[in-house]
Amino acid sequence: MPPVPPYPVFIDSHVIGGFGRGSSDLGIPTANIPASDFLASGIPKGQTGIYFGLAKISGAYGTLVRHSSPEENGPKPPATEIVRTEKSIVPEDGVVLPMVMSVGWNPFYGNSEPSAEVHIVHKFAEQFYGADIKLAVLGYIRPEQNFASVEALIEEIMNDIRKAKEFLAEDGFKQIESNEFFK
Ligand code: ADP
Ligand code: RBF
Ligand code: MG
C-alpha cells in the first residue's frame, strides 16, 4: 500500500536543542526541529500525535550548550546554543533511515510549548545538533497520550517503532527512499 494523501509530506529542517530528557529519561534520543517547520508542512493544522516515515541527516553539526537545566525550566524548554565544530555527518549515518516522530505538548510532561521531535531507528556515532534533517512523513500512528509511568511511555514508543517498521516494509513506502527530495 502506498502512502495515503496528504502523505508523503516532505519537511526540510535542521536539528535544534530540546528539553534534554529524551536520552536521559527515556533512553530514546529525539532530534528536535522547530515546531513551525512541522506546522508549515501541509499536514492538517493542529494535528498533533505520533507519525512515522523516513529521515536523512546531512551537513555540518556542532555541540549543544544548555544555559539552564530542564529541572529549572519546568514546562518551558531551556535556552540553548549550538556551537559549530568542523564535523560533518559520516557517510554511514547519512543514509535514508526509518523514523518515528512525536508532535505536540507531551501530555506526560505537560510542556507549555509544542515540540516536534524525531527518533531515528539507527545507532549514530555522535549527537548532531545543527545538522540538516530531511523528513518524509508517511503516515499517522496515534494521538499523544498521558501515561501512568515512564516505563509505560517507553513501552508505547517501542510499539510505535515496531509499527513504523511494519508499514515501511510495505512496497509503496520503500520507493520514497529514492525520491528526488532525498538526493
Ligand atoms: P534534546 O532534548 O536536546 O532533543 P535528546 O536526548 O532528545 O535531547 O536528543 C539528543 C540528540 O541526540 C539529538 O538532537 C541528536 O543529535 C542525537 N541523536 C543520537 N541518536 C539519535 C537517534 N537515533 N535519533 C534521533 N536523535 C539522535
Ligand atoms: N510524550 C507524551 O507525553 N505522550 C506520548 O504519547 C508520546 N509519544 C511519543 C512517541 C514517540 C515515537 C516519541 C519519539 C516520543 C513520544 N513522546 C510522547 C515524547 C516524549 O515524551 C519525548 O520524546 C521526551 O519528553 C523527550 O523530549
Ligand atoms: Mg529531543
What pTM, to 2 d.p., does this model score? 0.96
**Using a 6 Å cutoff on CB, does residue 160 contact ligand 2?**
yes
The C-alpha angle 19, 159, 140, rounded to 5 degrees, equals 75
C-alpha cell at 132: 540538516
pLDDT given for residue 23 in this prediction: 86
Known active-site residue 144: no
Q: How many angstroms does the Cα of residue 1 sit away from the middle of ligand 1?
A: 31
pLDDT in tens, 24-52: 889 999 999 999 999 999 888 669 999 99
Pick from 51, 106, 162 the residue to mutate for probing ligand 2's pocket: most ligand atoms within 8 Å of its CB: 106
Residue 103's DSSP bridge partners are 49, 116
Could you tell me which of 14, 24, 15 has the C-alpha nearest to residue 70? 24
Q: How many angstroms does the Cα of residue 154 sit away from the middle of ligand 3?
A: 14
Could you tell me which of 41, 63, 49, 35 has the C-alpha nearest to residue 129? 63
